[in-house]
Amino acid sequence: MNSAVPVIELSNVTREFQVGSQVVKALDGISLTIQHGEMVAIIGPSGSGKSTLMNTLGCLDTPSSGSFFLNGQNVSDLSDNQLAETRSRQLGFVFQSYNLLTRETALSNVELPLKYSGGHTGKNRRTAARTALERVGLSHRFNHKPVQLSGGEQQRVGIARALVKNPDLILADEPTGNLDSKSSAEVIEMLRSLNEVDGKTIVVVTHDPEVAEATKRIIAFRDGRIVEDRAVDSVKTEAAEDEQVASE
């Protein structure tokens, strides 16, 4: 991967929704660049456009205007099929509500992205899925179904699924939103290690100041705009003050 090209490059991106006769600007002129190996937290009040941004970055949604380059590729040029391929090849998405297939085991949930990209034998897929589950510390839970797992474990299955195709970019929309503080800490530790050990680029949306402080860069949203974009200081007190400002 050419590290000179940014992973994400948004310029003047807007996303509007028509609600009845009203137009809601969920994203209102966002310009943003994220480089390889960064770990970014997106914070902001409810309804400020964080999820809309993540959906755009995740190629699940397309901007109303402005441009979005993912690894140097202009996403608005892509067809529906190519968007699906991009989702499968270049990024992994982690959801607040895990979004696992309830009927399937952990292993086959993690296998799922591989099923939609050709060139894998069944054995191949299972090996890759096991490796990903081992990476998130779930080697003892291969054949458990989601209902048989704790919230934290389910979210780790979700992370393993995002990892299984070994993408450079992991997008996580409130991954700890449904978790208690202990599981929450585990998940964040996991994401940090993926960033620091595996060198993955990570963007995580969170309401939790502790989670935000665990990252390297914090971007604050309000009303569809970026109101703050700063590097995280390792000095805790300063960070806590800033967070108060951002969450007002």
Provide the binding-site residues for other proteins, judged by CB under 8 A: 55, 58, 60-61, 80-81, 84-85, 87-89, 93, 95, 99-101, 103-104, 112-113, 115-118, 161
87 binds, among Mg ion, ligand ATP, other proteins, none (CB under 5 to 8 A by kind): other proteins
Q: Residue 1 or 101: which CB sits closer to other proteins?
A: 101
CA distances from 4 to 13, 35, 36, 71 (A): 22, 8, 8, 10
Kindly determine how many residues on this chain lie close enough to bind Mg ion according to the rule CB under 5 A.
1
Q: Residue 61 or 228: which CB sits closer to other proteins?
A: 61
Q: How far is the CB of 154 from Mg ion (least distance, A)?
A: 19
Q: Report the side by side order of strands in the sheet with 169-173.
A: 91-94, 169-173, 201-205, 39-43, 217-222, 225-231
167 binds, among Mg ion, other proteins, ligand ATP, none (CB under 5 to 8 A by kind): none
DSSP-assigned states of every residue in 95-150: -TT----TTS-HHHHHHHHHHTSSS--HHHHHHHHHHHHHHTT-TT-TT--GGGS-
Q: How far is the CB of 59 from Mg ion (least distance, A)?
A: 17
Q: How far is the CB of 155 from ligand ATP (least distance, A)?
A: 17
201 binds, among Mg ion, ligand ATP, other proteins, none (CB under 5 to 8 A by kind): none
CA distances from 147 to 62, 103, 144, 244 (A): 33, 9, 8, 37
Positions that interact with ligand ATP (CB under 6 A): 17, 19, 24, 26, 44, 46-52
Q: Report the side by side order of strands in the sheet with 73-74.
A: 22-34, 8-19, 65-70, 73-74
By CB under 5 A, residue 109 contacts Mg ion: no
Q: How far is the CB of 64 from ligand ATP (least distance, A)?
A: 12
| Sites for Mg ion among residues 12-71 (CB under 5 A) | 51
Residues 6+ away with beta carbon under 8 Å from 121? none
